[in-house]
Structure 1
Amino acid sequence: MSKKIPSPCIDVCKFRREGHCIGCSMTKAQKKLYKSIKKQEQQEAFLLMLTCQQAQMGRYTHWEPAYLKKLKKKKVRLAESLTQRFSAGETAGTRQTSRESDHG
């Protein structure tokens, strides 16, 4: 059985952006919800939702490298579909750039 996917929290935990953490974008309710998720498929779906949320909110380019470092330290591998999204730059960083260019 594979290891539990660690929380998307990157240990910043400052809830300033309308109740969202400035480190990972989760709200306190989302952090509590993630802790209750036991199935790996649901954890991966949560991560996908979170990266979409980060892209929508913008300014979360720091999260992906910090989270990947956390995964490496804990020796956890994500599903190939999520790993491809990270390596292809299809997470918050790339979407933020395109969003800013739409408004800039």
Structure 2
Amino acid sequence: MDTKVTDAADAAWTTAPSPCVDICKYKRQGRCVGCSMTKAEKQAFPSSGGAEQKREFIETLIGRLQESARNPAFWIMSYRRKCEREGVPCPIPVEGDDA
């Protein structure tokens, strides 16, 4: 793998914003219907560590959405828009990208 691609991917995860997509309605077992995080997870994310920890955290959220029979594509689309608004690269690749 090209180290430039790896460096860019790591940088995207390092600067990844919170997975919160500004819906903030807690229903399902205390989890937000928009992002599937608990209030404690939302508060902890900014200090959740480096690129690897953020990647694992977001992958866990995507898994939760899939397990709850929700299509994670809707959250991913909202998260990509959030990254764009904040002017940071979205760490979640577009399906079909080779990156």
Matching residue of 1:51 = 62
Larger displacement relative to structure 2 (8-17 or 36-45): 36-45
CA RMSD across the alignment: 2.2
Give, in angstroms, the shift of residue 78 of structure 1.
Answer: 4.2
Equivalent residue in structure 2 for 1:64, among 65, 73, 76: 76
What's the CA shift string for 1:14-40, capped at 9, x where partnerless?
001110101111111221221221312
* Paired AA for residue 87 in structure 1: E
Moved over 3 A (4+): none
Larger displacement relative to structure 2 (1-10 or 48-57): 1-10
Distance 1:78 1:69 in 2: 9
**Number of residues paired by the alignment?**
84
- Structure 1 length as normaliser, TM-score? 0.68
Q: Which runs of 5+ in 2 are unaligned?
A: 1-9
Structure 1 or 2: more strand by fraction: 1
Distance 1:72 1:28 in 2: 24
Larger displacement relative to structure 2 (53-62 or 19-28): 53-62
- Structure 2 length as normaliser, TM-score? 0.71
Matching residue of 2:26 = 15
* Paired AA for residue 69 in structure 1: R
* Matched ranges for 1:70-81 at <5 A: 70-79=82-91
Percent identity between the aligned chains? Answer: 33
Distance 1:17 1:59 in 2: 12
